[in-house]
Amino acid sequence: MNAMDAGEALTDEIAISTKGLTRRFGDLVAVNQLDLSIPKGTIYGFLGPNGSGKSTVIRLLTGLLEPSEGEIAILGQTLKGHEEQLKSRIGYMTQKFSLYENLSVLENLRFVAAIYGVRGKASKSRIDDLLQQYGLAHRHQQLAGTMSGGQKQRLALACATLHRPELLFLDEPTSAVDPQNRRDFWEQLFDLSAAGTTILVSTHYMDEAERCHKLAIMEHGIKRADDTPRQLMQSMGAKVIEVSGEGLRQLKQQLSTLKDVISASQAGSRLRVLVNDAQQDPLGLLQPLCGNHQLEVVRPSLEDVFVTCTGGRHVG
């Protein structure tokens, strides 16, 4: 493929486009022939287990890592050769938040402002706004290293968005925070999205992935599916059957041996069984092993989609 191909696929409406994007580390293929087309203004999720290549994709898209093969276009420009130009239009928040722990909240923000060339009155006013917006005004003198996970996360988001990037990369941003902070964080992401920012966020949390406008399911560096959460659930190649009753541990083992059963996993006092769509009569398949148990066909969840896409190899 030549350098134009990914660029040609672009319209003004596309924020990220890749064609055949591949990255190897020795014999390991961390990202394998990835094609992406992410419209501007979207919150796009990368859902996958540890080691599925999510961070590597983000590092490739931010220009921190060179592809082994393939093309990347960001905000209408081929990435190769335009990394410096694009840097001012991109924000990046890493898993570890990358804060200067020995600097105060204010000093962290001033440092980032200086890096992006935001100076003088503009810097002061932007930092004041961010301190208010992210609930950090009363902590501006506190050392970053002494803050809680949720506070560090808010400061990291303030730093990553200080220069008003059009495109924001977030690598597992909520791994280190509690559910309330995760919810609040997502409210902030929707505010940014409503203001026109395109966001690519990696996660291994299903509830988080479900909030995205669109998402890719990754496994072993390969994109297994790519659509809206609703569409992924509607077009999943499996039926979901819940089984309730006694002796579920043993029943699970028995059901798992059936050819068309993709997975069986326990959730509370029920077994959630995924049966391949090719099976015409999923209840009839399970019934002989289920005796007096109750069986019910239920609506798929995103977790079911994930399990089906990955052939039951990463249950729950």
Residues at the interface with ligand ATP (CB under 6 A) = 25, 28, 30, 48, 50-56
Strand, helix or coil at 276?
Answer: strand
Tell me how far, at minimum, the Cβ of 203 lies from ligand ATP, in Å. Answer: 9
Concatenated DSSP letters of 158-214: HHHHTT--SEEEEESTTTTS-HHHHHHHHHHHHHHHHTT-EEEEEES-HHHHHHSSE
Distance CA 100, CA 92 (A): 15
Q: At what angle do helices 248-256 and 282-290 cross, to 10 degrees?
A: 130
Nearer to ligand ATP, 108 or 202 (CB): 202
Distance CA 48, CA 205 (A): 9
Tell me how far, at minimum, the Cβ of 80 lies from ligand ATP, in Å. Answer: 19
Distance CA 211, CA 44 (A): 9
Nearer to ligand ATP, 49 or 76 (CB): 49
Q: How many residues does the chain have?
A: 316
Tell me how far, at minimum, the Cβ of 197 lies from ligand ATP, in Å. Answer: 22
CA 124 to each of CA 89, 108, 128, 314: distance values in angstroms, whole numbers, following the listed order? 20, 13, 6, 48
Please report how many Cα atoms fall inside a 13 Å half-sphere around the Cα of residue 232, on the Cβ side: 26
Nearer to ligand ATP, 1 or 28 (CB): 28
Tell me how far, at minimum, the Cβ of 171 lies from ligand ATP, in Å. Answer: 7
Distance CA 184, CA 165 (A): 21
Q: At what angle do helices 149-161 and 120-133 cross, to 10 degrees?
A: 140
What lies within 8 Å, CB to CB, of 9 at 6+ separation is 17, 19, 37, 73
Nearest by Cα to 232 from 215, 218, 247 = 215
Nearer to ligand ATP, 10 or 93 (CB): 93
Tell me how far, at minimum, the Cβ of 106 lies from ligand ATP, in Å. Answer: 31
Nearer to ligand ATP, 46 or 134 (CB): 46
CA 212 to each of CA 218, 222, 254, 308: distance values in angstroms, whole numbers, following the listed order? 15, 19, 36, 19
Nearer to ligand ATP, 30 or 248 (CB): 30
Give the pair of three-digit tokens for residue 165: 């990037």
Nearer to ligand ATP, 30 or 113 (CB): 30
Nearer to ligand ATP, 123 or 174 (CB): 174
Tell me how far, at minimum, the Cβ of 60 lies from ligand ATP, in Å. Answer: 9
Tell me how far, at minimum, the Cβ of 56 lies from ligand ATP, in Å. Answer: 3
Tell me how far, at minimum, the Cβ of 136 lies from ligand ATP, in Å. Answer: 27
